[in-house]
Amino acid sequence: MQNKSPQPARDVSQIVDNSAHPSPATPDIQQLTGAEIIMKCLIAEGVKTIFGYPGGAIMPIYDHLYDYQDQLQHILVRHEQGATHAAQGFARASGQVGVVFATSGPGATNLVTGLADAMIDSTPMVCITGQVFAHLLGTDAFQEIDVMNITTPVTKWNCQVTDARELQAAMAKAFYIARTGRPGPVLIDVTKNAQLQLTDFTPYEPCRRLRSYRPKPIVRPEFIEQAAELINAAERPFIIWGQGVLLGRAESEFKDFVEKSGIPAAWTILGVSALPTDHPQNVGMLGMHGNYGPNVLTNQCDVLIAIGMRFDDRVTGRLDKYAKQAKIVHLDIDPSEIDKNVKATVGVWGDCKETLPLLTQMIEKRDHSAWIERFHDCMQEEIATVIQPELHPEGPVLSMGEVIRNLNELTQGEAIIVTDVGQHQMVAIRYAQFNQPNSNITSGGLGTMGFALPAAIGAKYGAPDRTVVAVIGDGGFQMTIQELAVIMQEKVNVKILILNNNYLGMVRQWQELFHERRYSFVDMQNPDFVAIAKGYSIEGQTITERQDLKPALDAMLKHNGAYLLNIMVGKENNVFPMVPQGCGVAEIRLK
């Protein structure tokens, strides 16, 4: 606990100097390097898995990691972006904080996409980047980049450590901020001198409070009362929920609320697995490619109860045509989300794990089956025009929907489905069955192609006992295809399902519908994915025929280890329903 006064950062020569004058021996205090302190902090925070890539400025950390391999499992990715997505997949499957190591300069800039994805999808993640020696900061040194300013817009919090004495507090703060409140990514940039510097290590104390940071707003009972009044008086209330329910681990509180209220409930793509797909009050998906009923009836309900969701434009369509007739109750842990896009009649600030039970207590038990029936009527119409032809196509060409239907029949809704971005994502999330929470992992807000493969690897580490199926398009797969090497090296048991139409399908669909079929640079000449998988010692096959579909999926799932199944699907199939951009949700098109 000595040497607390501020001092300028040291260079290596001073580190030797430092070790020559150790502090007076106290039983609790050890002298350790900054790099080793990071190991101690990670272990104390319960971290067991790290995704990373070494390099010059982070070598002291990797040098110590070598000695801690029995406690900290390090997964060597093939590109730093892969590390961030793997950490995201890990976090989303396990509910724990994902941890990433990367070096300075290009190592750090490669994290930016993953940080942005984790930021917009509220995923808890701690990234530790190496940085050049403190005395080289700002000198355009080799692999030096202004990581702090580059990552500020894409982190919940970031911090540069130039002195090892700051490390323990910074690490504690990082984990606290990443996982509390509305979770998010945090980055700590550690200069090489701080990694090498010897300093005191006292027993690790997790951070429990920050002067300026309120992770959860204090719940105000008057707003709960107002919300309950609106709900009790409603004739056609409608619940829409998002990832907040999962992040708050409030699935059972949510289920209680839904069941007592008797209100139909629809989900955003990040919220989907919080309530089982086959729950009688689960009426389906919201948004651009959501179900017909939830979109149309958003504009007919009288009270709209939004829980842990942020009214993204892909959910609301045109805002001035969105639920104008309804009173809005908005529950969110982040006060800045209330009134951001949709003005709330009653904004209930707080953690939904706390607010939902209070609300459940105050509402009357109701039966809204006549109103739910209207969702079912819409569903019948959607089944006839969209779902039946998608899940049971008559022509010879395979559809994405029938692949997911067959997958459901085999996994019975127990698998974790990791999706990339595009048509396959919308189809997979629309039709996949989810029985338990944290089963759907996708890039929602940022729409990051290349997310699925590394995220699936991370998800397998986060939930080793569950089956992990990565559903990926042929475009997105090639954006992070190098992570197949991780699957090979670490023998990660993930199932890779490529829905291959040799097109950038979603862009092509828009070009077909809105740009007079001018297919501008969406046609892809793809490599032989099975041959590539073979190069990485991953088994696989390509199928084109319907009769092979179910046996091939079954073989993939039963295969002992990773497997790649490349399925050739209809080249110009479209995803419907669709709310065209710039239209209101009620203008949803069935074809």
Partner 1 sequence: MKQEYTITIYTENQVGLLARIAMIFTRRKINIESMNSSPSEVEDIFRFTIVVHETEELLRKLVRQIEKQVEVLKAYFNTNDEIVWQELALYKVPTDIIAEKVVVERLLRTYGARAVLIRNDYTVFEVSGHREETDKLLEVLEPFGLIEFVRSARVAIIKGSHDFHERLREFEAAEPGESVSTNAFLDQQEAVFSM
Residues in touch with partner 1 (CB under 8 A): 1, 4-6, 9, 148-149, 152-153, 156-160, 162-163, 165-166, 168-169, 172-173, 177, 202, 205-214, 216, 218, 334-336, 339-340
* 73: helix, strand or coil: strand
250 or 532: CB nearest partner 1:
250
DSSP line for 347-358? EEES-HHHHHHH
- Say which of 143, 226, 300, 541 is annotated catalytic: 143
Tell me how crowded residue 527 is: count the other CB atoms within 10 A of its CB.
11
Burial class (CB in 10 A: 0-12, 13-18, 19+), 547: exposed
388 in active site:
no
Nearby residues of 163 by Cβ (< 8 Å), 6 or more positions away? 7, 9, 10, 134, 194, 197
**Do residues 162 and 138 make contact, with C-beta atoms less than 8 angstroms apart?**
no
169 or 530: CB nearest partner 1:
169
- Say which of 449, 506, 556, 578 is annotated catalytic: 506
166 or 474: CB nearest partner 1:
166
- Say which of 7, 71, 142, 380 is annotated catalytic: 142
Closest CA to 473 of 451, 489, 494: 451
**Do residues 424 and 472 make contact, with C-beta atoms less than 8 angstroms apart?**
yes
192 in active site:
yes
Closest approach, Cβ 90 to partner 1, in A, equals 23
- One-letter-per-residue 3-state SS of 361-402: HHCCCCCCHHHHHHHHHHHHHHHHHHHHHHHCCCCCCCCHHH
143 in active site:
yes
- Say which of 156, 173, 192, 255 is annotated catalytic: 192
206 or 527: CB nearest partner 1:
206
Closest approach, Cβ 340 to partner 1, in A, equals 6
Tell me how crowded residue 369 is: count the other CB atoms within 10 A of its CB.
12
Beta strands per DSSP E along 37-110: 49-52, 73-76, 98-102
Pairing of strands 198-201, 30-33: antiparallel
Structural tokens at position 286: 């919201």
Beta strands per DSSP E along 476-538: 494-500
203 or 464: CB nearest partner 1:
203
**Do residues 502 and 475 make contact, with C-beta atoms less than 8 angstroms apart?**
no
Closest approach, Cβ 337 to partner 1, in A, equals 8
Strand partners, 294: none
Closest approach, Cβ 220 to partner 1, in A, equals 12
81 or 180: CB nearest partner 1:
180
157 or 503: CB nearest partner 1:
157
Closest approach, Cβ 4 to partner 1, in A, equals 5
Closest approach, Cβ 147 to partner 1, in A, equals 11
145 or 432: CB nearest partner 1:
145
Closest approach, Cβ 39 to partner 1, in A, equals 18
Closest approach, Cβ 206 to partner 1, in A, equals 8
Burial class (CB in 10 A: 0-12, 13-18, 19+), 215: middle
1 in active site:
no
142 in active site:
yes
Q: How far apart are CA 252 and CA 224, in angstroms?
A: 19
Closest CA to 91 of 130, 148, 50: 50
Active site residues: 80, 142-143, 192, 506
